[in-house]
Structure 1
Amino acid sequence: MKDSEAFRAAVRERAAFMLTDAASPYDRALEILGLSSGGLPLDDGDEAGKWLALIWGELTDWFELRPAQADQAEAHMVTAAREWLAIEGDQEAEAHYFDRWLYDILGFERHLDPPRVQKES
């Protein structure tokens, strides 16, 4: 469980900084992407890193690949961070967050199985 706790604490820290720091949300988004795509090892069944990598990867790609929409992408980053801070740790709320962000907001193709977060209580 330690790996997951360290990962989640690091993501919470970056998300909180995104809401209070004068730096660009994009900079903090890149940090969250780095953490969720291999920056910290997860071996305890917590799949949050997998889903967060998809969300933050898409948000940073949006900023990079569509410069005319950079402000909109950063606004979504701030919203995603704020929402994550409000629900992180509640497995049911996290599953809803991942489903909504991946499919409804970012437009990933919906699969039969919704994202689930499996972690020990």
Structure 2
Amino acid sequence: MKDSEAFRAAVRACAATMLNGDASPYEPALEILGLASGGLPVDDGDEAGNWLALLWGELTDRAELRPAEADRAEAHMVTAAREWLAVEGDEQGEARYFDRWLHDILGYEHRSARAQA
């Protein structure tokens, strides 16, 4: 669990930075993406790294690649950071968080929906 503890502490620090409101949340969001994309090792069985990479990759891409959506994407970043800090470490809470953000907010299909198509 040592690897995941360092990874999660770094993600918490970036999320907390987004909440201080002193600057754009884009840079700390990009840092979370880097951490989740292999910047720090994560223990086997800790799925947060995979899901955080997908979530923060989508949010940073929206801000960067869709200028008309940048303000909304940055607002989502702050909300996602606040919500992550509230659930991080609670396995069921994290599962609900990722389900809500990836499927309900960002629009990714559930696996079962793809399998039925």
TM-score by length of 1: 0.90
Q: Which residue of 2 aligns with 1:47?
A: 47
How far is 1:43 from its partner? 3.0
Q: Which residue of 1 aligns with 2:7?
A: 7
Question: Structure 2 stretches of 5 or more lacking a match?
Answer: 113-117
CA distance in 2, matches of 1:19, 1:27: 13
TM-score by length of 2: 0.93
Range with greater deviation from structure 2 (21-30 or 70-79)? 21-30
How far is 1:23 from its partner? 2.0
Q: Which residue of 1 aligns with 2:20?
A: 20
Question: Structure 1 stretches of 5 or more lacking a match?
Answer: 113-121
Letter in 1 for 2:8: R
Letter in 2 for 1:59: L
CA distance in 2, matches of 1:24, 1:55: 18
How far is 1:21 from its partner? 4.7
How far is 1:75 from its partner? 0.1
Give the RMSD, CA atoms, in angstroms: 1.3
Is the 2:2–2:43 Cα contact (8 Å) retained in structure 1? no
Q: How does 1:97-116 map to 2 (within 5 A)?
A: 97-112=97-112
